[in-house]
Chains A and B, each alone.
Chain A
Amino acid sequence: MSRTAGQAVVGRQIQLPLRKAFAISLESIRIRFWRSVITAGGIFLGIAFLVSVLTTSLVQQHLPGTMDAAAQAAAKNRQIWLVIMSLVVCTVGITNSMLMSVTERFKEIGTMKCLGALDIFVVELFLLESGVLGIVASFAGWLAGFGSIWLLAMGSHGWAVAGSIRIVQILTTLGIGIGTGMVLTVIATIPPAIRAAKMPPAMALRTEI
């Protein structure tokens, strides 16, 4: 093996292939399984509630008109307020979970930077990890939210109402559910991840948890 005799110019080539990043993130989820479940649980509940509200209004569209316009508008406003509040609560919960996750791993992050990781790799790894949790939990939340309301509608009003919901409307709720879940997850993950990534390695390694 030959030693480089002394580089006057330092190279810049550092990379983290996406496949490897994915493998690391998935393994992180697997190792901290129950913490991951709790983080995912927050997303699951929020999205389940959001989708159940959307599905309820879909079902009501196909019911014979029971409320006048003003009462309907008031009911709708109440629903929107409820949904927003629940999503805020969920986001706070996810952020807390991600903050804990990041703080626990300051030493790991510092070590990776000693091995040559760029700041962006650290953010990438956390985003991949929470992104995977976000997609899985959002989909599960959609299933729970849509499924429960749809089954209720089947029970109370039969196929006439439940079956008249069009496929494209169902897919719209799926899109909104997963989209909202992903947006909230990203919003919750980025600030803690960026803060951790920017720490000088000496400070990160000094942490004792």
Chain B
Amino acid sequence: MGANEYVVRTKELCKEFTMGDQVLRALDGVHLDVFRGEYISIMGPSGSGKSTLFNMIGGLDRPTAGSVFINDVDMAQLDAHELAYLRCRTIGYIFQTFNLIPVMTALENVTLPMVFAGVPTDDSVEKGINLLELVGLGERLHHKPSELSGGQQQRVAIARALANEPAIVLADEPTGNLDLKTGKEIILLLKHLNAEQGVTVISATHDLKMIDVSDRVVWIRDGKIERIEDRSEIELRVGELEGVEQ
């Protein structure tokens, strides 16, 4: 292990947003180390900073201070090409609103990252079909997102996130727009992929159903990490919704 033990590390991560003459500290000195292959959930109420943390780790926005290291590479040192490469090959993204390209079919959506990666068309189509079958959508290859249900769209998004065999899958509220049953299916799918393929899953969520499948849970509030718990340490009791000790 050694240097390869951590796939993501953040050091003193800060992010401030200026609204008019007010400064909002969304992240205030966040220090987080994510092990390779683990399933970690970042949990907190709305406005706690979990989406901001998600954006920092995913390279979707630049921090005001502090650093993010992916595979020991400082994201701030990367130029536009290298950042694009990282987003294409190393990280897969899943969003609350699915974010599929509406003009493309499911198969085209899944193969798009492979196009950017330079994979030949035949190979990418074959791989796309395999991925869609893996997530249970083998029958819906040529449907556009408008012809798919929310759960199906999220499955396409998961297949797309895995297209280039990333080291990390980042999920921002993956079950936010889904009903209870579909949300459970998606969570189980993510856990299955994490177990089978060894891809690290980092999810930012306030869906408590995610706790069960996580190896560790990071509780975040007001831009700071409150505590990090192993799954074995967590007792789920009704009435303790935010994990606040009583």
Query: Which residue numbers of A lie inside 8 Å of B, CB to CB?
Result: 1, 3-17, 20, 24, 27-28, 31, 107-108, 110-119, 121, 200-203, 205
Contacts and interface: CB of A to CB of B under 8 A. Distances in A.
B73 A115 contact: no
Contacts of B165: 1, 3
A65 B7 CA distance: 83
Given A11-B85, A12-B82, A20-B115, 8 more contacts: A12-B85, A13-B118, A16-B116, A17-B115, A24-B103, A112-B112, A121-B116, A200-B61
Contact of A15 (B86, B102, B118, B199): B118
A6 B87 contact: no
Given A12-B85, A202-B60, A205-B95, A4 B167 contact: yes
Contacts of A107: 97, 99
A6 B4 contact: yes
For the side of the interface on B, what is the size category?
35 or more
A116 B167 contact: no
Nearest to A21: B115
A116 B88 contact: yes
Interface string B113-155: 1011110000000000000000000000000000000000000
Contacts of A115: 87-88, 93, 112-113, 116, 160
Top 4 closest A-B pairs, CB basis? A116-B88, A202-B61, A6-B4, A202-B60
A61 B86 CA distance: 63
A6 B36 CA distance: 10
A1 B82 contact: no
B64 interface: no
B4 A5 contact: yes
B198 interface: yes
Most buried by A among B7, B61, B88, B198: B88
Contacts of A17: 115
B113 A116 contact: yes
Contacts of A27: 103-104
Given A27-B103, A107-B99, A14 B55 contact: no
B23 interface: no
A106 to B, nearest CB: 11
A155 to B, nearest CB: 46
Contacts of B86: 10
A86 B212 CA distance: 65
Contacts of B61: 200-203
